[in-house]
Amino acid sequence: MKVLITENIAKEGIEILEREGLEADLKLGLSREELLDTVGPYDAIIVRSVTKVNSELLGCAPNLKVVGRAGNGIDNIELPACTKRGIIVVNTPESNTMAAAELAIGLIFSVFRNIPQASAAGRRKDFRRKRFDGIELDGKTVGIIGLGRIGSIVATKLKGCNMSAVAYDPYITDERFKKLGVDKCETLEELLDKSDVITLHTPKTEETVGMIGEKEIARCKKGIVIINAARGGLVNEDALYNAVRSGHVRGAGIDVLNPEPGYDKSPEEQTYTNKLLELDNIIITPHLGASTAEATYLVGTAVSELVAAALKGEMVAAVNMPSFGGNQLKELKPYLELGEILGKIYYQAEKETVQKVEVMYSGELAQLETGIITSSVLKGLLDPIVREKVNYVNAEFLLREMGVEIVEGNKTLLDKYTNLITVTFHTKFKTLSVSGTVFAKEEKRIVDFFGYKLDFEPSSHIIAIQNIDKPGIIGQVGTILGAKGVNIAAMQWSRNRKGEKAVSFVSVDHEVDFEIMQKLRQIDGVLLATMMNF
């Protein structure tokens, strides 16, 4: 399989891909047209923050199965378009956190002490140092917008410089603020009022674009310093330019511009313009947040491992899949398999369109991250009808597009089992449930099939027979299968009330053809006979 890498990653990452038997093509500096012409045969693409992976690119990439984002922000990836196509999107959010935090702090020092300007002047043999008098961090207040991975490190490190840290992040708990020793600002305005330097560490979303604009800057103390090492556009560039020129803003440290320039072009080829580049007090770095030896190594190796694993069909933590703790995977595996089996039962046994699926987790399962198990149930449900197209990534998306309501719930109390997954399928006219359990950590059992109690070990091929509860039916089933050379591996039957209806589960060694199934259906008293393949 082929992997296209459009932006620089560590050579160790490329070696990982090759060791996994993948053909890795590093093609830097492709124009958009060249990229669209090139991407067609590739199974995966690895990008950083510049390459836009959007519907246009996906339209030119019929083989694409995995997008590897070497880094954190995914604002250059059109996630819904990838999800719809079942393309797995992986990123490496932890790998460059320290690098980005240290760059933001470096920018604060640089602006406070005019380090880049003084250095540039020194190279011109201009050593008139009076012009570069700075200010100290000690005793000042840093206002952090976004107290996530990077914002937290910035807070902790700057407290070591004897700064006070305040933060605005409405999505973080009070406990987290307390643990980090950061004062919580209830509003952005409160943060603007208190800060001597503001540093942004949020993702780029509708809510955060332009969140520091003319009005916000005007509210800040005179001499405020603004740092953006998160995403271009979070700070309105016109407002910043004007406020630096007027002297209301002392200076700014900007790692991310809006739009971004091409980072592989020589100055002669570069056509990029941005008026922020005109002002000396605005220190601009070329999106260097992740550019340390340590982060480059970690990001490059992590993304390659994830892409290789995803291409091999292994379950990986993907941006467009429900999350599961990495170390929960082993624990979750039998439940994922069971969930898929339970999901696959419905459309093999019934034809009526499902309008709502409910997945209920009981017992010890209620403590686990069950979202991914639900994805496997949904994948199983769609598998018999749209097998080519469905996977963990797009199953929920496809079902919702089909108008199916999906509900997930938890019940903790159970008397008979330690864990139980119950999937209920609602159609216009009826409601049917199947349940399964895992015991001894790996033994899967179907314990309820449309209201019939069982204890059946699922195998690859099961014939489910619903019949009137009367003598002789099981014998005839055995005779028909035996006469056609079909080996029965296991068999179990269940009835709810004597003389009414019963269900038999017959595990066979291979799929049984239509003609044999018809013979089973013709047995007097058989109501339904369904071949189910798992």
Residue ranges that bind ligand NAD, judged by CB under 6 A: 72-73, 93, 96-97, 100, 145-151, 168-169, 171-172, 201-205, 207-208, 229-231, 255-256, 287, 289-290
| Nearest distance from C-beta of residue 241 to ligand NAD, angstroms | 20
DSSP annotation of 117 reads H
260 classed as catalytic:
yes
Residue nearest to ligand NAD (CB): 148
From residue 190, alpha-carbon distances to 138, 158, 177, 197 in Å are 21, 20, 16, 13
Region binding ligand MLT by CB under 6 A among candidate stretches 101-109, 287-295, 451-459, 476-484: 287-295
| Nearest distance from C-beta of residue 13 to ligand NAD, angstroms | 17
Residue nearest to ligand MLT (CB): 71
235 - beta bridge partners?
A: 212
From residue 333, alpha-carbon distances to 30, 372, 516 in Å are 41, 10, 34
352 classed as catalytic:
no
Identity of the residue, 169 or 196, whose beta carbon is nearer to ligand NAD in the bound complex: 169
Candidates 72, 236, 296, 422; binder of ligand MLT (CB under 6 A) is: 72
SS (H, E, C) 237-262: HHHHHHHHHHCCEEEEEECCCCCCCC
Residue type, 285: T
Candidates 13, 148, 233, 289; binder of ligand MLT (CB under 6 A) is: 289
CA 123/CA 82 separation, integer angstroms: 49
Candidates 9, 44, 46, 49; binder of ligand MLT (CB under 6 A) is: 49
- 256-262: which pairs have CB atoms within 8 A and are 24 or more residues apart? 256/228, 256/229, 256/230, 256/231, 256/232, 256/287, 256/289, 257/232, 257/284, 257/287, 258/232, 258/233, 259/232, 260/49, 260/50, 260/232, 260/287, 261/286, 262/29, 262/50
Candidates 73, 146, 251, 436; binder of ligand MLT (CB under 6 A) is: 73
**Tally of CB atoms within 10 A around 257:** 19
| Nearest distance from C-beta of residue 72 to ligand MLT, angstroms | 3
Q: Which does 379 bind (CB under 5 to 8 A by kind): ligand NAD, ligand MLT, none?
A: none
From residue 117, alpha-carbon distances to 120, 196, 252, 511 in Å are 5, 21, 13, 75
Q: Which does 68 bind (CB under 5 to 8 A by kind): ligand NAD, ligand MLT, none?
A: none
Which residue among the candidates 15, 214, 260, 457 is catalytic per the annotation?
260
For the record, the structure tokens of 262 come out as 């091409």
200 binds ligand MLT (CB under 6 A): no
| Nearest distance from C-beta of residue 161 to ligand NAD, angstroms | 20
**Residue tagged 């696959």 (tokens):** 344
| Nearest distance from C-beta of residue 106 to ligand NAD, angstroms | 11
Candidates 201, 250, 287, 461; binder of ligand MLT (CB under 6 A) is: 287
* Run of H or E residues at 300: helix 293-311
Which residue among the candidates 201, 231, 250, 461 is catalytic per the annotation?
231
Identity of the residue, 68 or 73, whose beta carbon is nearer to ligand MLT in the bound complex: 73
189 classed as catalytic:
no
C-alpha neighbours within 13 Å on the C-beta side of residue 465 = 29
Report the catalytic residues. 231, 260, 287
For ligand MLT, the binding residues (CB under 6 A) are 48-49, 71-73, 96, 287, 289-290
